[in-house]
Amino acid sequence: AQSVSQHNHHVILSEAASLELGCNYSYGGTVNLFWYVQYPGQHLQLLLKYFSGDPLVKGIKGFEAEFIKSKFSFNLRKPSVQWSDTAEYFCAVNRGSQGNLIFGKGTKLSVKP
Amino acid sequence: GAVVSQHPSRVICKSGTSVKIECRSLDFQATTMFWYRQFPKKSLMLMATSNEGSKATYEQGVEKDKFLINHASLTLSTLTVTSAHPEDSSFYICSARSSTGSTGELFFGEGSRLTVL
């Protein structure tokens, strides 16, 4: 079955540190890839997405992710985190534009001021 | 981006009662809506896919008679938890895909926290 793995359950960083959150998926065909963020007390919102083209995708708030097909990975990065980035981050994958999204278990990011 | 609204955001009910949660797409039409359940420290688990005007498709292990889903219009889907029990306490999230969209992006509601006493 298709699955999405996020390797880190909880990441704690100080402000200005660099961030990389891992995401791997198991499906071998064409996929669409997403990162969603859930700030405390708020609903899920899209951070960035990849469908095709340049494998380095830039999203909102300085986040970016790189799709590496050979590694089945779509890691999320940010060069310098801020306290306001404290949130839970979910990687998600779907096959085709109409399919359901399969989510990873999420990674909680805590940024210390 | 498109807006999806859920109501109520929090509900507390007694065991054995039924609770209805509404999911509305406010500024777009959604032919497909998805209902998820989010457990603490776990991923969002898809419960069912709701298509406007037809029966919902439930994921394996989800009781269709317990979690009734209705998608009567292009902007509204409802989830009714029937005869709720404490183990049904959870965070339920709906999401919707625009009927004109082709990117696969889902727009999420705020979620509804159900507590069954």
Give yes or no for a contact between A92 and A75, defined as CB atoms under 8 angstroms apart.
no
Span B65-71, average pLDDT: 94
For B59-65, what is the mean pLDDT? Answer: 93
Q: A residues 59-88 near B, CB within 8 Å?
A: none
Identify the pLDDT of residue B51: 86
pLDDT of residue B99: 67
Q: DSSP letter string over B46-110?
A: EEEEEETTSPPEEPTT--TTTEEEEEEETTEEEEEE-S--GGG-EEEEEEEEETT--S---EE--
Q: Judge: A46–B102 Cβ closer than 8 Å, yes or no.
A: no
pLDDT tens figures, A80-107: 999 999 999 999 988 665 567 888 999 9
* Chain B contact present for A97, CB below 8 A: yes
Contact B42 A43 (CB under 8 A): no
Min Cα–Cα distance to chain B from A51, Å:
8
* Chain B hits for A104, Cβ within 8 Å: 43
| B84 confidence band (pLDDT: 50, 70, 90) | very high
The reported pLDDT for the residue numbered B86 is: 95
Residue environment code for A86-110, b if the CB has 16+ CB neighbours within 10 A, otherwise e: bbbbbbbbbbeeeebbbbbbbbebe
pLDDT one-digit tens code per residue, A6-23: 988 999 999 999 999 999
Q: Do B105 and A106 touch (CB under 8 A)?
A: no
pLDDT digits 0-9 by tens, B9-34: 999 999 999 999 999 999 888 888 99
- Residue of A32, A43, A105 with shortest CB distance to B108: A43
- More confident site: B104 or B110: B110
**pLDDT tens across A30-52, in order?**
788 999 999 988 878 889 999 88
Q: Are B65 and B48 in contact (CB under 8 A)?
A: no
Q: Which of these, B26, B42, B40, lies nearest to B94 by C-alpha position?
A: B26
